[in-house]
Amino acid sequence: MATHRFDPNFTENVISAMGPKTSPRLRQLMTGLIQHVHDFARENELTVDEWMAGVKMLNWAGQMSDDKRNEGQLVCDVIGLESLVDEITFKLADEAKDAPTATAILGPFFRADTPYRENGADIVVTKPKDGEMAYMHGQVVDFETKKPLTGATVEVWQASTNGLYEQQDDDQVEFNLRGKFKTDADGRYYFYCLRPTPYPVPDDGPAGKMLELMDRHPFRPAHIHIIATYDGYRPLTTQIFDRKDKYLDNDSVFAVKDSLVVDFVERKDDPQAGLELKYDVKLVKDEATNGV
């Protein structure tokens, strides 16, 4: 029984218009989407002008997107959808003390063509005028056995101190502040990077407009992105966050998890870096995930 004052059969008519060739999963997703979107419109008595403003926002996002900019993803990010889907998909990686490394969203600035670098390399190829250098290192281990994984890939990327990733900034050389590393015989990776700094997500498009309309700031807390992979293990996409950052409790895309907050400590006797960050990654064997 409909509890609203609009056509009680309307939504059911739209849902049942799907034909028999629709796959079961698509039918489930479209049924839920249509039901929720219709309920949203009815509950809020959405006006034509308001709906059209939403349509314009979507079109604007599409027009702004290209291979260097993913505005549709950014719109999802500022309403928390990528972080929610991450939580749903990877709920095994919880925040318990002895848990596999927790996941976090990929974000729109990942580049699939990032090159490998040698362990010990400096990913800060274009040096910013400010910023602090850090030596980041750690071990990739099997979550169950704690044994090191030799030959695992650790990929990292970070924004520069001006708040821009290299593909957003003509003044940075290509692949600046990015690299893929292979773990050594002890499962270790190590390289030099910047202590990350907070930055605003691009706010000159519809995602920025939505933030402004919702009276929210665009900043993300300082973080480094990591993807760790090893054959037979579940790939890990995550981010680590600097404990000292002022946006830790206020991330514009809601990606912070307690277990991903890290401490940079002083590093002595290294002319290349005054800070150090140790970060071990615990990967889960594929079969241990029950196919989730």
How do beta strands 153-157 and 178-182 pair? antiparallel
Q: Which residues of 195-222 are buried (b: 16+ CB within 10 A; e: fewer)?
A: bbbbbebbbebbbbbbbeeeeeebbbbb
Nearest approach, Cβ of 165 to Fe ion (angstroms)? 7
Q: Which residues of 78-103 are buried (b: 16+ CB within 10 A; e: fewer)?
A: bebebbeebbeebeebeeeeeebbbb
Q: Which of 109, 181, 241, 279 binds ligand BEZ (CB under 6 A)?
A: 109
Contacting Fe ion within 98-117 (CB under 5 A): 107
Contacts of 18 (CB under 8 A, 6+ apart): 27, 30, 31
Q: Which does 77 bind (CB under 5 to 8 A by kind): ligand BEZ, Fe ion, none?
A: ligand BEZ
Q: Which residues of 130-140 are buried (b: 16+ CB within 10 A; e: fewer)?
A: ebebbbbbbbb
CB 252, CB 216: distance < 8 Å = yes
CB 207, CB 253: distance < 8 Å = no
CB 260, CB 228: distance < 8 Å = no
Alpha-carbon distance 203 to 246, whole Å?
20
Nearest approach, Cβ of 72 to ligand BEZ (angstroms)? 11
Please name the residue ranges forming H helices in the chain: 10-15, 24-44, 48-64, 71-78, 81-89, 206-213
Nearest approach, Cβ of 237 to ligand BEZ (angstroms)? 11
Stretch of 29-37, 87-95, 101-109, 118-126 contacting ligand BEZ, by CB under 6 A: 101-109
The answer to whether residue 195 forms part of the interface with ligand BEZ (CB under 6 A) is no
Closer to ligand BEZ by Cβ: residue 61 or 149:
61
Q: Name the residue with the smallest CB distance to Fe ion.
A: 107
- Number of Cα atoms under 13 Å in the Cβ half of residue 137: 18
Q: Which does 38 bind (CB under 5 to 8 A by kind): ligand BEZ, Fe ion, none?
A: none
Q: Which of 236, 253, 256, 275 binds ligand BEZ (CB under 6 A)?
A: 253
Closer to ligand BEZ by Cβ: residue 31 or 168:
168
The answer to whether residue 218 forms part of the interface with ligand BEZ (CB under 6 A) is no
The answer to whether residue 74 forms part of the interface with ligand BEZ (CB under 6 A) is yes
Closer to ligand BEZ by Cβ: residue 107 or 179:
107
Nearest approach, Cβ of 253 to ligand BEZ (angstroms)? 4
Strand partners, 153: 182, 229
Nearest approach, Cβ of 83 to ligand BEZ (angstroms)? 9
Q: Which of 100, 108, 187, 205 binds ligand BEZ (CB under 6 A)?
A: 108
Size of the site for ligand BEZ (CB under 6 A): 9
Residues near Fe ion (CB under 5 A): 107
In the complex, the residues that contact ligand BEZ under the rule CB under 6 A are 74, 77, 105, 107-109, 201, 220, 253
